């Protein structure tokens, strides 16, 4: 299309608004409330243009062929100035002493763009106090221009539905839960609102008093300076004042660094710029991340204080009796080399095990397995995907060929039906949850949730299924059978793309709807409704997590999900597919890069002579030929006396592995144990040598998110003195063992990976610069695959495989002695056991402890209340914990978050595992509950967001502003002035 803008013909795309066309062509139209990722909000009116003689908002007007647009006509200019004047009446311009004077303040920049010298409407203070109650950010009503960006972000992107604007009030402002303080509201501190605020009304507290040269002055002095500036404004105009503030901004450029990184917490893969002044983290700015855009959760946005914690390890430690003493690096590394060499010489290399970290980079995972295989000579290497993701990977290997999500987050957004099974997505993968919540709220996406708990996703769902614990496999298979039996399967897809239908159908014989209803407790009607919803939906995505995988049939249930997607033809197209949501930031990458006992990097089997030969030739060593021990088997091998030493990096294995008492007892038997971490973890207590590592902000490398998305992280801070990035430590250990490695930078490691691994053939740091990313497999020419299987499945004949099903039933079932089922999982605020997040004071304030969730019915039966101490006793151990009574859980089902190392849920869990992968059956645990006499405070303070009362609405509802008696389209008044 062609659009004539200010006399020049411009091309325009079908779906573009005028503001997009104008800015894409380098035009300088003012626009304050419009935001690329939020779209047209229409509250500010500063983007007024004249189209065919009519004043319209450029942000809300679609470009049309032949349109004639003026951005500079007297009417348009007058409207823009008047609209902006109204904004300035809501905002005190004191840029020089403002922490937001960083070159990106929309109000400042628009003042300059419109060459405002004097404002016609005077500033009017609003009759409200600044709200400082939230630990992470504050709201200053006097600076709030009522643009509504924050409301749009909270209502429609994050979909926490906390914010609104009281347009009908004489003095509108942003409200939390309709009028609560921020601290007592439902705000989850995700930071979306702060990120999109175009001025300083919402600001990170870590910025306040830190960003500017003059902003740390005392409040009274600051006020004096603001008064002086305001005093001279009538004489000098804003032009001169803005020049001063721009000089101050230029000075800031020399001391504020902006560095791109990737989040260290979960595997959504949010990326953002971190603004730092020396070691002070000023703020986290998400904007360009391919997975997240403007989105973060509280951890990624505000959870970084741990980096500067006084608890950081800054020197190697060597065991000295029952304590540790500081040692030099040389002493510690020499000791490690000597002891590992001795054990290898006397007991063989397979007496040593290596545990890599899903928090570390791909390059570090690669080096760890290279150390195990090429330097020590063992395949005993694993990572914590064994604890969560291995069954999902197995299910996908069996059926479609690649062990990763079959598409991208955008596919999940596009789906007509999303099914979430065993995943508390809103807390464990918050930014992916925002996409589902938003599509569900705004675009008619349907949502079915199967879970034991009625968590946020369950409450939002169109259908919430609550099957008996551990029975998802049964209803999935019954639905698949029902669809096949009733002609509702996608037979064209099955004929063309899928093998194994006959054997699979035979295996489904026991899975009738009646039998499924009996085993799962779901009604026949419910199951039938779910079957028809799936059959009718054009595009279905299934999301699942540890509620599926951490069972004795975790691999089979994951397989059942993929089977069902094949039966209904929900692969190979955008908006469809299988999405096992990976947990840790780099749990996908840790396995991808070979920290597995059976696979070299890129899932190349250690059994394959051709593969081994390729690595042997590159590494110039002979490699071990037989599969090594996984981390579950390593623990057994220690007890059996065959495994004598472990080198473990970045894993809190002593409490996150199942049956923690058994694991701890094993670690006590080790002859030699090296633990490398950022803090002195629980696991360090068992160590002989502790090595101080650097967290992600202090290193370079790549992470691979749940979307198979490989992204670069850049070094934000120098490693804290005394600590080192893990890749450097692993290299030093290897070299003390005589390896002779000489990597100068992780990019060299990635080049080596690419040269040896077809899956990553085209991966290079150059192709990953800045916010660029690649979703594996990556061909040598750099072509990646955001959506897998678009041409064929990843098997030699290109066809997928239906995998036969059987039902065994869960282990560790409740009985007369252990009468309650205890489930466990993550919390929004804390990551895993909380070693990092408890060192963030704001998170600690909001969520200081763990608890056990008890249903109201069970609480009444046992006579307990929130805060009552109880003792949970399983067949394997016990914990003492406070109860939280909540209807999120039902009947005799309990839930314990895993956010505590002192009260670790894994003191209760067993050593039962998934048969195919050895992933512990964490979710199959029975306990009895002794109610103790002691009653304390509720473990969840009232200031936690879970006690808030959201106020859902569709965005900022600007129509309510337009209905105000004092509102009129801007422009007419000034036109009258000009005409006069």
What tokens does 425 get?
A: 């997505």
CB of 438 to ligand FES, least distance (A): 21
Contact between 199 and ligand SF4 per CB under 6 A = yes
Rounded-to-integer distance, Cα 176 and Cα 151, Å: 10
- Choice from 146, 335, 436, 447 touching ligand SF4 (CB under 6 A): 146
Sign of dihedral through CA atoms 729, 734, 736, 740?
Answer: negative
5: nearest Cα among 26, 22, 20, 17: 22
Among 10, 31, 108, 249, binds ligand FES (CB under 6 A): 31
Smallest distance from the beta carbon of 48 to ligand FES, in angstroms? 8
Sequence-separated (6 or more) residues with CB below 8 Å from residue 178: 164, 949, 951
What is the Cα–Cα distance from 547 to 468, expressed in whole angstroms?
Answer: 12
Burial of residue 867, with CB atoms counted within 10 A of its CB: 0-12 exposed, 13-18 middle, 19 or more buried = middle
Q: Does 297 bind ligand SF4 (CB under 6 A)?
A: yes
Residue nearest to ligand SF4 (CB): 300
> Which range touches ligand SF4 (CB under 6 A), out of 142-150, 225-233, 476-484, 635-643?
142-150
Neighbours of 495 (CB within 10 A): 9
Comparison of 60 and 779: residue with beta carbon closer to ligand FES: 60
Which residue stretch of 29-37, 426-434, 789-797, 909-917 sits at the interface with ligand FES (rule: CB under 6 A)? 29-37
Pick from ligand SF4, ligand FES, none: which does 597 bind, CB < 5 to 8 A by kind? none
User: In this structure, is the dihedral angle defined by the CA atoms of residues 865, 870, 876 and 877, taken in order, positive or negative?
Assistant: positive
Chain centroid to CA 423? 13
Interface with ligand FES in residues 40-79 (CB under 6 A): 42-47, 57, 59
Q: Which residues from 609-638 bind ligand FES, rule CB under 6 A? A: none
Q: Rule CB under 6 A: is residue 354 a binding residue for ligand FES?
A: no
Contacting residue, 20, 82, 85, 158, with ligand SF4 by CB under 6 A: 158
**C-beta of 158: minimal distance to ligand FES in Å?**
21
Nearer to ligand FES by C-beta: 145 or 291? 145
Q: Is 116 among the residues that bind ligand SF4 (CB under 6 A)?
A: no
- Residue 719 binds what, of ligand SF4, ligand FES, none (CB under 5 to 8 Å, by partner type)? none
Those residues with Cβ within 8 angstroms of residue 95's Cβ, 6 or more apart along the chain or in another chain: 101, 105, 108, 241, 242, 245, 248, 249
Considering CB distances under 5 to 8 angstroms, the limit depending on partner class, which of ligand SF4, ligand FES, none binds residue 299?
A: ligand SF4
Q: Judged by CB, which is closer to ligand SF4: 73, or 166? A: 166
Q: How far is the CB of 120 from ligand FES (least distance, A)?
A: 19
Rounded to 5 degrees, what are φ and ψ at 875?
Answer: -75, -10
Tell me the two tokens of residue 314.
Answer: 């800054």
Q: Which is nearer to ligand SF4, 270 or 690 (CB)?
A: 270
Can residue 33 be called a binding residue for ligand FES (CB under 6 A)? yes
Query: Three-class SS string for 127-164?
Result: CCCCECCCCCEEECHHHCCCCCHHHHHHHHHCCCCCEE
Residue 293 touches ligand SF4, criterion: CB under 6 A: no
- Give the CA dihedral 873, 878, 884, 887, nearest 10 degrees: -50
Interaction of residue 84 with ligand FES, rule CB under 6 A: no
State yes or no: residue 107 binds ligand FES (CB under 6 A): no
Task: List the one residue out of 193, 217, 191 whose CA is nearest residue 94.
Answer: 217
Answer for which of 27, 135, 172, 191 binds ligand SF4 (CB under 6 A) is 191
Q: Does residue 110 belong to the site contacting ligand SF4 (CB under 6 A)? A: no
Give the end-to-end CA distance of the chain in Å, rounded to a whole number.
39
Residue 150 touching ligand FES (CB under 6 A): no
Rank residues 289 and 970 by Cβ distance to ligand FES and give the closer one.
970
Question: Among ligand FES, ligand SF4, none, what does residue 394 contact (CB within 5–8 Å per kind)?
Answer: none
CB of 149 to ligand SF4, least distance (A): 4
Q: Choosing among ligand FES, ligand SF4, none, which partner's interface includes residue 202 (Cβ < 5 to 8 Å by kind)?
A: ligand SF4
Cβ(711)–Cβ(304) under 8 Å? Answer: no
Half-sphere exposure of 264 (CA within 13 A, CB side): 29
Q: Which two structure tokens, joined as six digits, stand for 879? A: 């914990």
Q: Considering only residues 29, 58, 174, 753, which one is a binding residue for ligand SF4 as defined by CB under 6 A?
A: 174
Q: At its nearest, how many Å lie between ligand FES and the CB of residue 657?
A: 53
Segment near ligand SF4 (CB under 6 A); pick from 114-122, 199-207, 220-228, 498-506 = 199-207
Among 187, 307, 578, 713, binds ligand SF4 (CB under 6 A): 187
- CA-closest candidate to residue 925, choices 812, 808, 809: 812
Taken in order 403, 407, 408, 412, the sign of the CA dihedral is negative
Partner whose footprint covers residue 35, from ligand SF4, ligand FES, none (CB < 5 to 8 Å by kind): none
Which segments of 548-611 are extended strands (E)? 577-580, 599-600, 604-605
Q: Which of 150, 537 has the CB closer to ligand SF4?
A: 150
Identify the H or E element spanning 106: helix 106-113
Residues 547-586 that bind ligand SF4 (CB under 6 A): none
Residue 971 interacts, among ligand FES, ligand SF4, none and using kind-specific CB cut-offs from 5 to 8 Å, with: none
Considering only 17, 77, 80, 296, the residue that binds ligand SF4 (CB under 6 A) is: 296
Site string for ligand SF4, 257-276 (x = CB under 6 A): ------x-xx-xxx------
Binding mask 631-670 for ligand FES (x = CB under 6 A): ----------------------------------------
Q: Under a CB-based contact definition with an 8 Å cutoff, are residues 448 and 417 in contact?
A: yes
Pairing of strands 174-176, 604-605: unpaired
Q: Which residue has the tokens 């200031």?
A: 943
CB of 15 to ligand SF4, least distance (A): 25
Query: Smallest gap, in angstroms, from Cβ of residue 39 to ligand FES?
Result: 10
Query: What's the Cα-to-Cα distance from 852 to each of 38, 771, 867, 872, 879, rounded to whole Å?
Result: 39, 41, 10, 9, 10
CA distance 388 to 551: 10
**Single residue of 97, 153, 256, 294 touching ligand SF4 by CB under 6 A:** 153
Q: Does 34 sit near ligand FES (CB under 6 A)?
A: yes
Q: C-beta of 383: minimal distance to ligand SF4 in Å?
A: 18
Q: How far is CA 230 from the centre of its chain?
A: 44
Cα–Cα distance for residue pair 314/677, rounded to 1 Å: 10
What HEC string does 475-524 produce?
HHHHHHHHHHHCCCCCHHHHHHHEECHHHHHHHCCCCCHHHHHHHHCCCH
Q: Can you say how many angstroms the Cα of residue 322 is from the centroid of all Cα atoms in its chain?
A: 39
Provide, rounded to whole angstroms, the least separation between the CB of residue 114 and ligand FES.
13
> In this chain, which stretch among 25-33, 133-141, 613-621, 786-794 interacts with ligand FES, using CB under 6 A?
25-33
CA angle 4, 6, 11 (to 5 degrees): 35
Residue 713 engages ligand SF4 in binding (rule: CB under 6 A): no
Q: Which of 867, 926, 869, 923 has its CA nearest to residue 892?
A: 926
C-beta of 57: minimal distance to ligand FES in Å? Answer: 4
How far apart (Å, rounded) are the C-alpha atoms in residues 204 and 195? 9
Measured distance CA(759)–CA(757) in Å, rounded: 5
Return the one option of ligand SF4, ligand FES, none that residue 44 interacts with (CB less than 5 to 8 A, by type).
ligand FES
The DSSP secondary structure of 633-652, one letter per residue, reads HHHHHHHHTS--EEEEES--
List contacts with ligand SF4 (CB under 6 A): 144-150, 153-154, 158, 160, 162-163, 174, 187-193, 197, 199, 201-202, 263, 265-266, 268-270, 292, 296-297, 299-300, 430-431
List contacts with ligand FES (CB under 6 A): 31-34, 42-47, 57, 59
């Amino acid at each position: 299309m062609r659009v004539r803008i200010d006399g020049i013909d411009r091309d325009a795309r079908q779906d573009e608004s005028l503001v997009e066309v104008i800015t894409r062509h380098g035009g300088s139209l003012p626009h304050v409330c419009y935001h690329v990722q939020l779209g047209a909000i229409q509250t500010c009116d500063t983007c007024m243009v004249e189209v065919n003689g009519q004043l319209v908002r450029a942000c809300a007007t679609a470009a049309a062929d032949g349109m004639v647009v003026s951005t500079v006509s007297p009417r348009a200019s007058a409207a823009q100035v008047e609209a902006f004047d109204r904004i300035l009446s809501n905002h005190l311009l004191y840029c020089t002493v403002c922490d937001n004077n960083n070159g990106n303040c929309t109000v400042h920049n628009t003042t300059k763009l419109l060459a405002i010298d004097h404002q016609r409407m005077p500033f009017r203070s609003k009759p409200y106090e600044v709200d400082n109650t939230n630990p992470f950010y504050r709201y200053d009503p006097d600076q709030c221009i009522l643009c509504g960006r924050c409301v749009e972000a909270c209502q429609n992107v994050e979909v926490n539905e906390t914010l609104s604007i009281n347009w009908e009030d004489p003095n509108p402002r942003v409200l939390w839960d309709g009028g609560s303080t921020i601290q007592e509201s439902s705000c989850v501190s995700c930071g979306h609102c702060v990120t999109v605020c175009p001025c300083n009304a919402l600001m990170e507290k870590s910025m306040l008093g830190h960003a500017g040269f003059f902003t740390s002055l005392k409040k009274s002095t600051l006020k004096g300076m603001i008064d002086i500036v305001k005093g001279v404004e009538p004489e000098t105009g804003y032009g001169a004042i803005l020049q001063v503030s721009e000089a101050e901004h230029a000075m800031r450029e020399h001391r504020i660094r902006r560095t791109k990184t990737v989040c260290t917490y979960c595997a959504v893969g949010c990326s953002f710029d971190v603004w730092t002044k020396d070691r002070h983290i000023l703020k986290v700015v998400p904007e360009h991340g391919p997975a997240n855009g403007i989105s973060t959760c509280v951890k990624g946005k505000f959870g970084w204080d741990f980096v500067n914690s006084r608890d950081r390890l800054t020197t190697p430690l060597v065991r000295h009796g029952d304590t540790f003493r500081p040692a030099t690096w040389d002493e510690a590394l020499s000791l490690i080399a000597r002891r590992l060499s001795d054990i290898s010489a006397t007991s063989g290399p397979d007496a040593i095990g290596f545990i890599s970290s899903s928090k570390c980079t791909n390059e570090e995972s690669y080096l760890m397995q290279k150390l195990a295989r090429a330097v020590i000579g063992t395949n005993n290497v694993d990572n914590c995907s064994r604890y969560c993701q291995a069954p999902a990977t197995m299910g996908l290997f069996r059926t479609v060929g690649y062990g990763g999500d079959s598409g991208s987050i955008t596919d999940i957004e596009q789906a007509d039906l999303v099914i979430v099974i065993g995943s508390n997505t809103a807390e464990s993968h918050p930014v992916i949850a925002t996409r589902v919540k938003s599509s569900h709220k705004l675009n008619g996406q349907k949502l079915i949730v199967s879970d034991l708990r009625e968590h946020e996703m369950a409450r939002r769902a169109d259908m919430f299924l609550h099957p008996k614990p551990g029975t998802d496999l049964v209803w999935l298979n019954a639905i698949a059978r029902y669809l096949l039996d009733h002609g509702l399967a996608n037979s064209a897809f099955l004929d063309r793309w899928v093998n194994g239908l006959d054997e699979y159908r035979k295996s489904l014989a026991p899975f009738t709807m009646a039998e499924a209803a009996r085993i799962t407790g779901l009604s026949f009607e419910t199951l039938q409704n779910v079957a028809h919803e799936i059959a009718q939906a054009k595009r279905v995505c299934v999301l699942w997590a540890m509620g599926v995988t951490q069972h004795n049939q975790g691999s089979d249930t994951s397989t059942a999900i993929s089977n069902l997607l094949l039966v209904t033809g929900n692969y190979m197209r955008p908006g469809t597919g299988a999405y096992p949501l990976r947990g840790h930031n780099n749990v996908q990458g840790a396995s991808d890069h070979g920290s597995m006992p059976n696979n070299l990097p890129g899932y190349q089997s250690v059994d394959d002579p051709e593969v081994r030969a390729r690595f042997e030739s590159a590494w110039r060593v002979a490699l071990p030929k037989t599969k090594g021990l996984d981390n579950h088997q390593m623990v057994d091998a220690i007890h059996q006396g065959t495994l004598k030493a472990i080198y473990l990096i970045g894993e809190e294995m002593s409490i996150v592995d199942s049956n923690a008492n058994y694991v701890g007892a094993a670690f006590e038997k080790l002859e030699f144990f090296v633990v490398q971490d950022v803090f002195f973890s629980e696991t360090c207590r068992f160590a002989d040598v502790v090595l101080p590592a650097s967290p992600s902000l202090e290193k370079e490398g790549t992470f691979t998110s749940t979307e198979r998305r490989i992204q670069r992280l850049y070094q934000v801070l120098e490693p804290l003195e005394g600590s080192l990035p893990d890749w450097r430590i692993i290299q030093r250990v290897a070299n003390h063992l005589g390896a002779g490695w000489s990597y100068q930078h992780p990019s060299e490691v990635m080049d080596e990976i690419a040269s040896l691994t077809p899956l990553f053939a085209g991966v290079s740091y150059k192709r990953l610069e800045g916010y660029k990313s690649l979703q594996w497999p990556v061909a040598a020419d750099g072509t990646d695959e955001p959506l897998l299987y678009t041409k064929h499945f990843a098997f030699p004949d290109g066809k997928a495989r239906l995998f036969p099903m059987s039902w065994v039933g869960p282990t560790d079932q409740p009985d007369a002695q252990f009468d309650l089922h205890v489930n466990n999982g993550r919390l929004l605020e804390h990551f895993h056991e909380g070693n990092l997040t408890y060192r963030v004071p704001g998170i600690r304030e909001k969520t200081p402890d763990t608890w056990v969730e008890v249903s109201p019915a069970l609480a009444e039966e046992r006579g307990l209340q929130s805060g009552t101490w109880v003792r949970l006793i399983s067949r394997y151990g016990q914990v003492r914990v406070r109860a939280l009574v909540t209807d999120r859980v039902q009947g005799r089902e309990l839930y314990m978050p895993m956010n505590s190392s002192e009260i670790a849920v894994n003191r209760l869990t067993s050593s039962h595992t998934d048969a195919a992968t050895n992933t512990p059956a964490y979710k199959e645990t029975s306990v009895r509950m002794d109610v103790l006499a002691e009653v304390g405070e509720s473990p969840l303070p009232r200031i936690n967001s879970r006690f808030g009362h959201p106020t859902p609405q569709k965005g900022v509802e600007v129509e309510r502003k337009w209905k105000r008696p004092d509102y009129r389209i801007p422009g007419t008044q000034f036109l009258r002035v000009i005409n006069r």
